[in-house]
Amino acid sequence: MGQSLVKNLVHLIYSTKDRRPLLTPAVRPLLYAYQSGVFKLCDSPAIIVGGDKEHVHALFLLSKNWKLRDVIEEVKKASSKWIKTQGTEFGDFYWQRGYGAFSIAESQIEDARKYIENQETHHKTLSFQDEFRLFLKRYEVEYDEKYVWD
């Protein structure tokens, strides 16, 4: 085959350091737009970015030319620097070190998009930690609870 043809859809989840509720309703849409721009610069366009007060979900198409960890590192690093320019309340803002990244099928895009769009409503009844544990269980990821949260 003369070409390398790739389509890797990734559902990425990560939180603020110590799950601090720093992502205010006013900054969230700006943050999501900024992060979408960073994904695009990494040749890994975002389908949707959303979340709640202490975490982000991003559904994106991973470039065949970038390593997953490098895209995630760039998005987190750039957006951490950006958010610190948005006001003094963000002066000590940091993302958690880790993340969860899960592959999805083309047929799951619409469900994932709706799920991400409804994060604020969803988290009225479910904590971020419980949500993340459900993802780990669904994707059969083994983990040690004491190392998941930082």
CATH of residue 59's domain is: 3.30.70.1290
Query: Looking at the domain assignment, is residue 18 inside a domain?
Result: yes
Segments of 55-129 assigned E as strands = 55-62, 100-104
Contact (Cβ atoms closer than 8 angstroms) between residue 37 and residue 8:
no
Query: Looking at the domain assignment, is residue 2 inside a domain?
Result: no
The H or E element containing residue 50 is strand 46-52
Residues in CB range of 38: below 8 A, 6 or more apart: 74, 75, 78, 79
Residue 122's pLDDT is what? 87
pLDDT in tens, the chain (150 residues): 678 889 999 999 999 999 999 999 999 999 999 999 999 999 999 999 999 999 999 999 999 999 999 999 999 999 999 999 999 999 999 999 999 999 999 999 999 999 999 998 989 999 999 999 999 999 999 999 888 887
Q: How many domains does the chain have?
A: 1
pTM over 0.85: yes
Query: Looking at the domain assignment, is residue 1 inside a domain?
Result: no
Query: Looking at the domain assignment, is residue 133 inside a domain?
Result: yes
Residue 35's pLDDT is what? 98
Query: Looking at the domain assignment, is residue 76 inside a domain?
Result: yes
Query: Looking at the domain assignment, is residue 30 inside a domain?
Result: yes
Query: Looking at the domain assignment, is residue 92 inside a domain?
Result: yes
DSSP, res 95: B
Residue 19's pLDDT is what? 95
Query: What domain range is 62 assigned to?
Result: 8-148
- How many other C-beta atoms are found inside a 10 Å radius of the C-beta of residue 64? 12
Q: Return phi, psi of residue 53, to 5°.
A: -65, -20
Residue 1's pLDDT is what? 63
Query: Looking at the domain assignment, is residue 37 inside a domain?
Result: yes
